Every structure is written in C-alpha cells, then in structure tokens.
Amino acid sequence: MALAAVLALAVGWCLGYRSHAHETARREALRAERAARLHGPHAAAIADELALGLQALAEACCDAWFVSAGAEHDAPCTSRWATAVACCPECTVTPGTPCHQNGEPLGYAHARRIKEAKEVQP
C-alpha cells in the first residue's frame, strides 16, 4: 500500500511538473512573439498611405510642384499652364492654342504669355 502511495505521488508530481513546464514554455513563446511584432500601424494601413502618396504624385502637374507642395513649377509645367489660361500677345493665339513661330508650334510658351497668365490668374 505504501508503494502504491509513493508511486501515485511520483506520477502526480511528474504530471503537475510537466503541465507547469508546458504552460511556462507557452507563456514564453507568446511573450517572444509579441516582442517580435512590429509596433505601430498595420501593414494594410501602410499600404493605403503609400497608395495615396503615389496617386497624389501621379496627379501632380510636375515634380517641382509636388516637392514644393504647390509653391513652385518647373518650366514645362509653367508653359502648359500659361498655354491653357492666357492669350499670347507675341503670336496672337487664344488660350489652349500653343505658341508658334513661323507657323511651327513651339514646345514652350513665350515669356510674354507666361506674364499674361500670371496677370490673369495670380
């Protein structure tokens, strides 16, 4: 009878120890997993922010405008804008028509047209 009691005590102790060890290992694994995760916004939120930024860049009229938050434009962008909004006093064309010289369209707006555009729409 004493042998059965000692054996029952030993088995009970082993099972209890094993259960405790398993629970401790599980707690440590969860703690390590939490520590390894990135803190802050989720990947989906980061992807949304990137998509919005790329869309804004695609809709920008020029790189200089995008980088300066609308304060500056590069020369081709200024020419496109002036061509769209102002008449050209030099080659006498209406808004939307590109400047020309000797009947050949230019790839830019005349300086007088850009000045006119700034006066029309400050």
What pLDDT does residue 109 have? 83
pLDDT in tens, 75-101: 777 788 788 888 888 888 888 888 888
The widest CA-to-CA distance across the chain, in whole angstroms, is 120
pLDDT at position 83 = 83
Structure tokens at 86: 């102002």
Structure tokens that stand for 39 in this block: 């803190």
Show the tokens assigned to 17.
Answer: 């120890």
pLDDT at 122 over 60: no
Cβ(80)–Cβ(48) below 8 Å = no
Would you say 116 and 88 are in contact if contact means Cβ atoms under 8 Å apart?
A: yes
**Residue 110, token pair as written in the block:** 């005349």
User: What is the model's pLDDT at position 18?
Assistant: 64
- The Cα 70–Cα 62 span in angstroms is 10
Q: What is the pLDDT of residue 17?
A: 60
Mean pLDDT of the chain: 79
Judged against a pLDDT cut of 80, whether residue 40 lies above it is answered with: no
Could you report the per-residue pLDDT of 104-116, keeping only the tens digit for each? Answer: 888 888 888 888 8
Phi, psi angle pair for 38, to nearest 5°? -70, 140
For strand 100-101 and strand 104-105, is the pairing parallel, antiparallel, or unpaired?
antiparallel
pLDDT top residue among 116 and 73: 116
